[in-house]
């Protein structure tokens, strides 16, 4: 029996666009008949195969099944609009533990809610009592693009942080963590891939000036394709992610897939795939008001990482000592194995079962 599905998602090189494209492509490969309704103008950055697929699926808008389910891969505060009259499933990646009235109303307008982690499910169940059923479908990683390639030992130990300039990402503290770990060592660098299209040139300049205090910091230009991200990660020794909260943290999983040691906060969505075996975890002592003067107003909470800043520094130092004492670059074998469990095909299979499963239910009476 044909499974028709209307999908609303951005297609671009940002988080939702990457998740949207890979989820759509994998559902298509599973045989789901998709009519694609892109949110915004699609930005095709991979190859002709991607372009042809997007054009094919978008061309079905003319004859889409009005009664088919709609999967909307987008922000939790913008779920009221849908395609057709079938059940609406939201797939959102929120970072904090409380919803305002807008988010609650938009999510409650859905017939089913899909999140990427058990952490997010717990938050949604707490905030949407009596709302739709909440399902978990973890995001994936392209293991063909992000894979381990042994390289000769690098001349410098390179710590890489990926993620747009933002206090939520811990960028206000990462430089001091690096300086505490390496007061004067010359064989270590911190690479930042932090381009943020949502802040002003003045704000970008302020962040860059702050990090340029140390000549061992390299601020990388924005890249425009996922394979270019993989190319940068190939040259890194370790990924460091001192974030206060994450909706998934795809770059962390990608670095695991490439066999890189990783350091991360033991909180929020990436706890779905981070363990003591595959990640240097730093457990925050408490939560604090999520307030950055821009996107978060203090009405929700995130991890308090200031008190454990030295723990991040100690983990960075530990990776450095392992690198310095070996003839090869350190390899995160456990991370490679973990990443194999989080494929985009598994993401699509979970979503297909949630939407089309024989025992599918969309409403909750909690």
> What is the DSSP pairing of strand 287-291 with strand 297-303?
antiparallel
Stretch 213-229: mean pLDDT, rounded? Answer: 90
- Tell me what the pLDDT averaged over the chain comes to: 94
Residue 358 pLDDT = 58
**pLDDT tens, 307-334?**
999 999 999 999 999 999 999 999 999 9
- Topology agreement, domain 4-140+343-356 and domain 157-340: yes
Report how far apart, in Å, the C-alpha atoms of 366 and of each of 201, 242, 247 are: 47, 35, 25
CATH superfamily entry for domain 157-340: Glycogen Phosphorylase B; (3.40.50.2000)
What stretches of the chain adopt beta strand conformation (E)? Answer: 4-9, 33-38, 70-73, 88-91, 112-115, 133-136, 157-162, 188-193, 217-219, 238-241, 262-265, 280-282, 287-291, 297-303
Q: 203: which DSSP letter?
A: H
Residue 47 pLDDT = 72
Structural domain 4-140+343-356, CATH architecture: 3-Layer(aba) Sandwich (3.40)
Report residue 365's pLDDT band, with 50, 70 and 90 as the boundaries: very low
Q: Which of 338, 319, 148 is nearest to 237 (CA)?
A: 319
So where are the chain's domains? 4-140+343-356, 157-340
Report residue 217's pLDDT band, with 50, 70 and 90 as the boundaries: very high
Stretch 21-50: mean pLDDT, rounded? Answer: 90
Residues 6+ apart with CB under 8 A from 8: 37, 38, 39, 70, 71, 72, 73, 74, 82, 83
Report residue 224's pLDDT band, with 50, 70 and 90 as the boundaries: confident
Q: Which of 348, 352, 351, 364 is nearest to 111 (CA)?
A: 364
Report residue 360's pLDDT band, with 50, 70 and 90 as the boundaries: low
Asked if 217 and 175 count as a contact pair (C-beta separation under 8 A), the reply is: yes
Report residue 361's pLDDT band, with 50, 70 and 90 as the boundaries: low
């Amino acid at each position: 029996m044909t499974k028709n599905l209307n999908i609303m998602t951005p297609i671009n090189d940002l988080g939702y666009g990457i998740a949207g494209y890979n989820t759509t492509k994998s559902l298509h490969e599973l045989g789901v008949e998709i009519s694609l309704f892109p949110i915004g103008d699609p930005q095709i950055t991979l190859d002709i195969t991607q372009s042809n697929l997007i054009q094919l699926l978008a061309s079905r808008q003319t004859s889409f099944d009005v009664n088919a389910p709609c999967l909307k891969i987008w922000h939790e505060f913008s779920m009221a609009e849908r395609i057709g009259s079938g059940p609406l499933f939201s797939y959102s990646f929120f970072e904090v533990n409380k919803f305002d009235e807008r988010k609650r109303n938009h999510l409650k307008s859905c017939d089913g809610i899909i999140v990427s982690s058990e952490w997010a499910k717990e938050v949604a169940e707490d905030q949407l009592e009596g709302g739709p059923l909440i399902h978990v479908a973890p995001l994936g990683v392209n293991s063909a693009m992000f894979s381990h390639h042994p390289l000769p030992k690098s001349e410098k130990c390179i710590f890489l942080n990926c993620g747009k300039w933002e206090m939520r990402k811990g960028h206000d503290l990462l430089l001091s963590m690096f300086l505490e770990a390496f007061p004067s060592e010359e064989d270590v660098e911190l690479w930042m891939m932090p381009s943020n299209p949502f802040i002003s040139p003045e704000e970008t300049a302020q962040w860059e000036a702050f990090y340029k205090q140390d000549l061992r910091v390299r601020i990388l230009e924005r890249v425009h394709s996922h394979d270019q991200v993989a190319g940068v990660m190939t040259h890194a020794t370790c990924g460091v992610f001192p974030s206060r909260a994450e909706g998934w943290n795809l770059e962390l999983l990608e670095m695991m897939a490439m066999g890189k040691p990783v350091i991360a906060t033991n909180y929020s969505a990436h706890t779905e795939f981070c363990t003591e075996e595959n990640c240097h975890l730093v457990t925050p002592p408490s939560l604090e008001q999520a307030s950055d003067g821009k996107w978060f107003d203090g009405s929700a909470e995130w991890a308090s990482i200031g008190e454990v800043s030295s723990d991040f520094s100690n983990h960075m130092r530990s990776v450095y000592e392992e690198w310095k004492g070996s003839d090869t670059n350190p390899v995160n074998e456990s991370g490679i194995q973990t990443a194999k469990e989080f494929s985009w095909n598994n993401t699509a299979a979970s979503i297909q079962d949630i939407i089309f499963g024989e025992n599918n239910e969309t409403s909750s009476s909690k």
